[in-house]
Structure 1
Amino acid sequence: MKRIVGALLATTALLGGGILAAAPASAATSCYGSSCNGLDPSRTTCANDARTVVIGNGSGNIQLRYSPSCRAAWARLQTSRGAGTIEVNNDRGNRYTASVPKSGSVNVYTRMVNDKGVTSNAIYTYNGGKSWDSTPRY
């Protein structure tokens, strides 16, 4: 019993003194390339270094977001002009969509696609499919 108590006290002293420290959660990526297909970017480390790499030029505000550490991409719509869908796809056939519930919806995004060694783009379709916006491939 004394050995167990002594070990616990030593461990507590080491932890309290800052000798043992856990690595930060963001130190490692939670997925990479094809292992990111279908994952929610907000539930991974990919959102930490994400940047908007291209935006649409049409009637909406669609963006293609990209994480260099994860080599993954997803579509994000900052402000919608109407109910519809957004999509991200890559040239390997991976594709994910998200519903845009109404005009004025903000920060709607899709799940991720692999963007390692391939190109991807984002598409926003609304007004019953009569209006759309898309990004160039990246």
Structure 2
Amino acid sequence: MSPLLRKLATGASACALAASGLLMASSPASAATSCLGSTCTGKDPSTTTCQNDARTVKTASWGVELRYSPSCRAAWARKTSGASFDTDIKVANSQGASYSAYYGGNGTVFTRMVNDLDITAQACERREFGYSCTDWY
């Protein structure tokens, strides 16, 4: 190979390598994972793709929400600011899986997820003087 061709080949390789590095750096890597039904049980919804299509499907009288992701077929409880009471929130499904979280009266708190694939789920809030729960969904 002639010195001129060698330099051109080396230069072309360097350009290709640099371009591939720029291409890789420009596509953001998602830290979110996906799950479905029972594989979502116990996972944090904020670290999954489940949060992307989640919607509030039920709300109890004290404000605890039952959140549901159609793509993941999973549910969790969420409480947002505005309450003046410390409270515990809980999500449970009809197969007995449940997760709780403490809400201190400000910000947003949510539980881990439970399977909601072909079963139902409910969110509850407990205060010193009783419970307030959503309907089953």
TM range (shorter): 0.7 to 0.9
Q: Establish whether residue 12 from structure 1 lines up as the match of residue 11 from structure 2.
A: no
Q: Establish whether residue 65 from structure 1 lines up as the match of residue 55 from structure 2.
A: no
Once the two structures are superposed, the pairs formed by residues 87-126 of structure 1 within 5 Å of their partners are: 87-101=90-104, 104-126=105-127
Aligned with residue 33 of structure 1, among 37, 62, 67:
37
Distance 2:41 2:89 in 1: 16
Amino acid at match of 1:51: R
Give the direction of change, closer, same or farther, for the CA distance of 1:9–1:86 in structure 2 (3 Å limit): same
Aligned to 2:79, what secondary structure does the other structure show? strand
Give the direction of change, closer, same or farther, for the CA distance of 1:29–1:69 in structure 2 (3 Å limit): farther
Is the Cα contact below 8 Å between 2:33 and 2:47 reproduced in 1?
Answer: no
Count the aligned residue pairs: 129
Distance 2:10 2:91 in 1: 55
Larger radius of gyration: 2
What's the Cα RMSD here? 2.9
CA deviation after TM superposition for structure 1 residue 131, in Å: 2.8
Equivalent in the alignment of 1:131 = 130
CA deviation after TM superposition for structure 1 residue 24, in Å: 7.0
Q: Deviations over 1:19-44 (max 9, x none)?
A: xx858739x85211111111111111
Amino acid at match of 2:85: G
* TM-score (ref. length: structure 1): 0.78
Q: Structure 2 unaligned runs (5+)?
A: 1-6
* TM-score (ref. length: structure 2): 0.78
Distance 1:32 1:24 in 2: 21
Distance 2:136 2:99 in 1: 16
Distance 2:57 2:10 in 1: 56
Aligned to 1:25, what secondary structure does the other structure show? coil
Q: Percent identity?
A: 43
Is the Cα contact below 8 Å between 2:79 and 2:108 reproduced in 1?
Answer: yes
